[in-house]
Amino acid sequence: MTDDDNILVAQGLKKSYGSGPARVDVLRGLDLTVRAGEFLAVMGPSGCGKSTLLHVLGLVTPPDGGAMRLCGRAVPRGGRTLQQMRRQNVGMVFQRFNLLSVLTAEQNVNISLRVRGLARDGARVRALFEEMGVDHVRRRKPGAMSIGEQQRVAVVRALAHRPDVLLADEPTGNLDSASAQRLLELFRRLHGDHQRTIVMITHSAEAASVAQRIVHMKDGTLCDS
């Protein structure tokens, strides 16, 4: 963690796709400050750029312009420091999960620990699988899991390395209400008991109500609700 109260600071983020008449300006000078230990929900209509924003914040996609600080350090444009920050500081739950199809659920989590240079922690990982209600699919590959099970395995993988900032893209989007409640309860505990910082994209007002603060994305920027 950092002494800085603001764990994540983004200033003037810009991101466009395509060129010429096909160009789409998705982020248009977006500013965002997230305090350490904050639980933030990001809402906005489909296609407004929420996933793009999360990928930029998670250091997966480089922005076209703007600057970011994460855990007290300026985010560089590339190189080893960027890779190190991506691996150590951030945990991502992608909207499409991005689980490796040739590996079992447990192997997906273990390989994520290995690329971060962390030892396997079987007991802790199993506890996370149990907490997410997906212990029964630990030895199954994604193709043999339901969409909601894959989503919950993606949450286990994102949390396994104890990231400073958890970035979750619609983490309840494919869950029944009981599973969604369970996930939100885990997020609430991570935030409340462990002071974990969470940025969660959601279309669900119920999910957003668990967060401390809700921001809305509009015209490539964010505004408070």
The residues that touch Mg ion, with contacts defined as CB under 5 A, are 51, 95
Does the protein bind ligand ATP through residue 95 (CB under 6 A)? yes
Name the β-bridge partners of 91. 166
d(CA 192, CA 77): 33
The tokens of 147 are what? 């969409």
DSSP 103: S
Does the protein bind ligand ATP through residue 59 (CB under 6 A)? no
- State which of residues 1, 5, 31, 47 lies at the interface with ligand ATP (CB under 6 A): 47
d(CA 179, CA 149): 10
Does the protein bind ligand ATP through residue 122 (CB under 6 A)? no
Shortest CB 162 distance to ligand ATP, Å: 26
Residue range at the interface with ligand ATP (CB under 6 A); choices 2-10, 43-51, 118-126, 144-152: 43-51
Within the chain, how many helices (H) and strands (E) appear? 7, 10
DSSP 54: H
For Mg ion, give the closer residue by CB, 51 or 104. Answer: 51
Does the protein bind ligand ATP through residue 20 (CB under 6 A)? no
Does the protein bind ligand ATP through residue 218 (CB under 6 A)? no
Task: Count residues binding ligand ATP (CB under 6 A).
Answer: 13
Does the protein bind ligand ATP through residue 26 (CB under 6 A)? yes
For ligand ATP, give the closer residue by CB, 57 or 137. Answer: 57
Say if CB 136 and CB 179 are below 8 A apart.
Answer: no
Residue 46 contact, options Mg ion, ligand ATP, none, Cβ 5-8 Å cut-off depending on partner type? ligand ATP
Residue 53's region, left for phi above 0, alpha for psi from -120 to 50, else beta, is: alpha
Burial class (CB in 10 A: 0-12, 13-18, 19+), 135: middle
For ligand ATP, give the closer residue by CB, 26 or 134. Answer: 26
For Mg ion, give the closer residue by CB, 71 or 211. Answer: 211
Say if CB 63 and CB 13 are below 8 A apart.
Answer: yes
Residue-wise DSSP of 110-130 = HHHHHHTTPPP-HHHHHHHHH
Does the protein bind ligand ATP through residue 92 (CB under 6 A)? no
Residues at the site binding ligand ATP, with contacts judged by CB under 6 A: 17-18, 24, 26, 44, 46-52, 95
